Structure 1
Amino acid sequence: MSIQIDAHTVKELRNKTGAGMMDCKKALQASNGNMDIAIENLRKKGLASADKKASRIATEGIIESYIHAGSRIGVLVEINCETDFVARRSEFQKLAKDIAMQIAACQNVMYVSSNDIPQEIISKETRIEEGKEDLVDKPKSIKDKIVLDRVKKRLMEISLMNQQFIRNHNMSIEDLIKQHIALLGENIKIRRFERFLLGEGLEKKSNDFSKEVESIVNK
């Protein structure tokens, strides 16, 4: 006989995982009301469901924007799904807003995933790590392993999908996307993004006060 789960607990689990109400209720009943076990089981189920949908074509979606307070940082991001119906869902649109805000907050992020990073960037990072002084006297096998680990860490730092979600540090952006794939029942992909920094690339005028005073005195 399954235990009775109150609506408040079901809603709490839904808010934490994004899963459907009935899935939350069943997960809580299966875990005898243990919230942590229910969350773990739902995430496993969501990841399995998301992985099955990952190869499906996603050509609908939206382009979302975010302008940070002070209007000095702006972001445009394209997020794709399979149908216009899901693109109009509030959950999908909130996801797009959260992703745009995430990109604005993560200034080091340059690529959607580590799979998008060009080989020349990987080679450059590898050369940088191989040339570091703390590895000079290391045996080659140990040095190669350290370099591999450091490069892997660096690639994760510049990949959006590997970032901790700013609204919930217990999940990555990849987890967030998979959660919404399970919630909305369609494949979801972050296709591309562009970050705009006010004045980026422009030569900024520097006011050298001592030179300015000297020029006035010498007139």
Structure 2
Amino acid sequence: MLKIKQLREATGAGIIDCKNALKQSGDNVEKAIEILRKQGIAKSAKRGERDASEGIIKVAVSEQNNEGYIAEINSETDFVARNAEFQKFSEQIIELIKNSCQSDKPSNLDELFAMVMGNNKIVKENIDNLSGVIGEKLNISKFNVLKGSTVADYLHLGGKIGVLVALDKENEKDLAVNIAMQIAASDPKYINSEDVSNEEIEKEKRIYKEQLLKQGKPENIIDKILQGKINKYFEEVCLVKQEYIKDDKKKVENILGNIKVTGFIRYSLA
């Protein structure tokens, strides 16, 4: 039943269709998603599996706007995620990452858990203590640091979605914030179409081709339709090819002009 639930959440397909797809795929969820897409039943799967954990995402940017920080702090319930003590602790964690000296900046979770906080206790000990007070298991599941000429952060849905984005030009904070909002709303997988692997493109072509054949499209026009489908796919998963959320007559690449996005990070609990 868990795999059926995962499949339904990922595709929007009905229970019977999910059961049949899992049976055909040998109980492999990823293969089942592909089967449902070929049948035209599933939504286009541009996103990875969603994290079902509750909690909050915190972001921060350095005073020079050239380095950004993001962390996901988890609780078992949304009620606790809104708890004042949990919120305070989460803010302390992102500030700890931000304010640590470059040589002391954590590079993995183990290093973060071993860092000393303002009360002279390590992060892990503070998590365990707060967990005991609140009565729920708490955790820091991931964090990241992003550098660039200009870095901006953005939070959406009260900390359910958090974004960092880096541009290759200094003093472009307003533009960077707008691009971060775009990423929060549109959830791209890549910056540009050149970042999409040939393997992924061929996989999408196979799926679209089977859909077109099932629709009875003649072989001699399928290749032309396929290129259009792939271009549409790029518009969905590639940031610069997306419609700009503040002006749908423009693409993100039109808004950027000669400025390039050098990286982005998007965390989601939504």
Please classify the TM superposition score into its range, dividing by the shorter chain length: 0.5 to 0.7
Query: Is residue 2:196 matched to residue 1:117?
Result: yes
User: 1:164, CA displacement in angstroms?
Assistant: 1.7
Provide the residue aligned with 2:230 in structure 1. 151
Provide the residue aligned with 2:248 in structure 1. 169
Distance 2:165 2:221 in 1: 40
SS of the counterpart of 1:138?
Answer: coil
Provide the residue aligned with 1:95 in structure 2. 175
What residue ranges of structure 1 are gaps of 5+ in the alignment?
1-58, 82-86, 182-187, 200-219
Q: Which has the higher contact order (CA 8 A, sep 6+)?
A: 1
User: 1:120, CA displacement in angstroms?
Assistant: 1.1
Could you say which structure has the higher strand fraction? 2
Change (3 A) 1:100 1:147: same
Out of 64, 71, 76, the residue aligned to residue 164 of structure 2 is 76
After superposition, give the CA deviation of every residue in 1:116-143 in whole Å (9 maximum; x if it has no partner): 1111110110010111155564332212
Distance 2:212 2:155 in 1: 42
After superposition, give the CA deviation of every residue in 1:18-66 in whole Å (9 maximum; x if it has no partner): xxxxxxxxxxxxxxxxxxxxxxxxxxxxxxxxxxxxxxxxx96122111
Query: Is residue 2:269 matched to residue 1:198?
Result: yes
Distance 1:144 1:119 in 2: 16
Larger radius of gyration: 1
Count of aligned positions: 124
Distance 2:253 2:152 in 1: 18
Distance 2:215 2:183 in 1: 37
Provide the residue aligned with 2:151 in structure 1. 63
TM-score of the aligned structures, taking structure 1 as reference length: 0.52
User: 1:80, CA displacement in angstroms?
Assistant: 0.9
Distance 2:217 2:176 in 1: 46
After superposition, give the CA deviation of every residue in 1:69-110 in whole Å (9 maximum; x if it has no partner): 3110001111112xxxxx13xxx1100000001100003x11
8 Å contact from structure 1 (residues 135, 143) kept in 2: no
Change (3 A) 1:139 1:194: same
User: 1:196, CA displacement in angstroms?
Assistant: 0.2
Change (3 A) 1:198 1:154: same
SS of the counterpart of 2:265?
Answer: strand
Q: Which amino acid aligns with 2:232?
A: K
TM-score of the aligned structures, taking structure 2 as reference length: 0.43
User: 1:189, CA displacement in angstroms?
Assistant: 0.8
What residue ranges of structure 2 are gaps of 5+ in the alignment?
1-146
- Greater CA deviation, 158-167 or 131-140? 131-140
8 Å contact from structure 1 (residues 74, 197) kept in 2: yes
Q: Please, what is the CA RMSD of the aligned residues? A: 2.0
